[in-house]
Structure 1
Amino acid sequence: MKRFMILAGLLALVSLVPGTAMADSIKGRLGVTGKVGFIIPADNEAEYGFRDNNTDAGLVLGGGLLYGIDDHFAAELDVSNYYFDSETGDFDVTNVSFGGQYRITNMHDRRLVPYVGAGLDVISTDYDANFGGNRHVDTTLGVHVSGGVDYFIEKQVALSAEAKLVLAPDADITEDGYHSGSFDPTNFSTAFGVRFFFN
């Protein structure tokens, strides 16, 4: 946790360094993103029980592609991994997101580009139960809304900060084909990263 707070502080410090970079239009440009952050997952149904399975905050690692359709709209593909603990075991979630962004490019500070986004999510989950056994979690579909900001430190490089809410229906947890619980993929996450635009 301490390392991530230091990383966030360094990113914030770098973003305050004055420079001449401006947020040129990303129309027709392809960018790649790498990010790290934190997730607050929903609580889940405890296995073979009728109470909540409390979850802890976890780690987000991910990356993706961003393509500028015009001066304001961009298409985005994002792949994120979430890791978090619960009372009954550990969850490892892979979320593949397809969506778009609306980017606000007419800010007073031309280096600063806020955006909002939305899209579809495909959520695949691995569950390592404390009590062993062969557990399976169904893959499910969800949706997301997001908001963030890019801060261009050079024409091709931007620091990024984003908050994202994923909403999805419960997925069944089964053991040897029998229902043993439910997993709620709904979560809220924040992430910090870097975008690099190729052209």
Structure 2
Amino acid sequence: MAACLVLVCSLVTVNAMAADTNSAESIKGRLGITGEIGFLVPADNDAVSTGIVVGRGHTDTGFIGGGGLIFGILDNFAAEFQITHTGFGTDTNTDFDTTNISLGAQYRYLNLPVKKLVPYVGAGVDILINGANNGLDVDTVAGIHVKAGVDYFVMRQLALTSELKGVIAPNADIKAGGGKVGEFDPDSFSMTFGVRYFFN
């Protein structure tokens, strides 16, 4: 993320004088890369100790970070590929982590009074690769997501972005020694901030 911020500052410094301020245009045929960081609020989960469920643990808010690609299919529609990772603990001795590989689509709202601002909504499918500490295994599951966000273009090829995302998926089995000892609920809600750079 630090490297991304340095790159963004360099691009802004070098190109600010030549920037096209009316950047909320069609995304058709444009390819971009996104980097983001933020917070994730997970669902509460079974707390497991030495292979035994010791109660329903309150799950802490965790940090989330990642990135992805976006490609414009039509003027207002874009396809998006994204990978994020988060880790979070419980009020007992069980910590969880999730890597989310998602594929989805966005609908982007153009021609707003604020020309640099592009709100969007989206939805898609997710593969949730889950893990835990204490020698526990957690199954990988598939889910879906919905999201809403906004891009603010500081120049034609560079935008600051903020996004809200909710993920819903079935419970994953928590296993110890090959046997099921509990369940992990991968549902979550996240808010992220980042940068989006378009190559064309």
Query: Per-residue deviation at 1:20?
Result: 2.5
**Alpha-carbon distance in 2 for matches of 1:150, 1:27:** 16
8 Å CA contact retained: 2:102, 2:127: yes
**Alpha-carbon distance in 1 for matches of 2:53, 2:88:** 21
Match of 1:97 among 94, 102, 107: 102
Asked if 1:85 corresponds to 2:98, the answer is: no
**Alpha-carbon distance in 2 for matches of 1:58, 1:45:** 17
**Alpha-carbon distance in 2 for matches of 1:20, 1:30:** 19
Specify the code of the residue in structure 1 equivalent to 2:196: R
In the alignment, what sits opposite 1:61?
Answer: 65
TM-score computed with the length of structure 2 as normaliser: 0.85
Deviation beyond 3 Å, 4+ runs, structure 1: none
Match of 1:75 among 59, 73, 79: 79
In the alignment, what sits opposite 1:164?
Answer: 165
What is the DSSP-based 3-state SS (H/G/I as helix, E as strand, rest coil) of the residue aligned with 2:23?
coil
Query: Per-residue deviation at 1:49?
Result: 3.2
Mapping of 1:21-60 within 5 angstroms? 21-47=22-48, 48-49=52-53, 51-60=55-64
Query: Per-residue deviation at 1:21?
Result: 4.4
**Alpha-carbon distance in 1 for matches of 2:197, 2:142:** 29
- Structure 2 residue runs without a partner (length 5+): 6-11, 13-19
In the alignment, what sits opposite 2:9?
Answer: none
Q: Could you list the per-position Cα deviations for residues 80-117 of structure 1 after superposition, in whole angstroms to 9, with x for gaps in the alignment?
A: 00111112322121000100000001211111000000
What is the DSSP-based 3-state SS (H/G/I as helix, E as strand, rest coil) of the residue aligned with 1:105?
coil
What is the DSSP-based 3-state SS (H/G/I as helix, E as strand, rest coil) of the residue aligned with 1:46?
strand
Specify the code of the residue in structure 2 equivalent to 1:66: I
Report the number of matched residues.
179
TM-score computed with the length of structure 1 as normaliser: 0.86
8 Å CA contact retained: 1:96, 1:123: yes
8 Å CA contact retained: 1:118, 1:143: yes
**Percent of aligned positions with the same letter in both sequences?**
51
- Structure 1 residue runs without a partner (length 5+): 1-6, 8-13
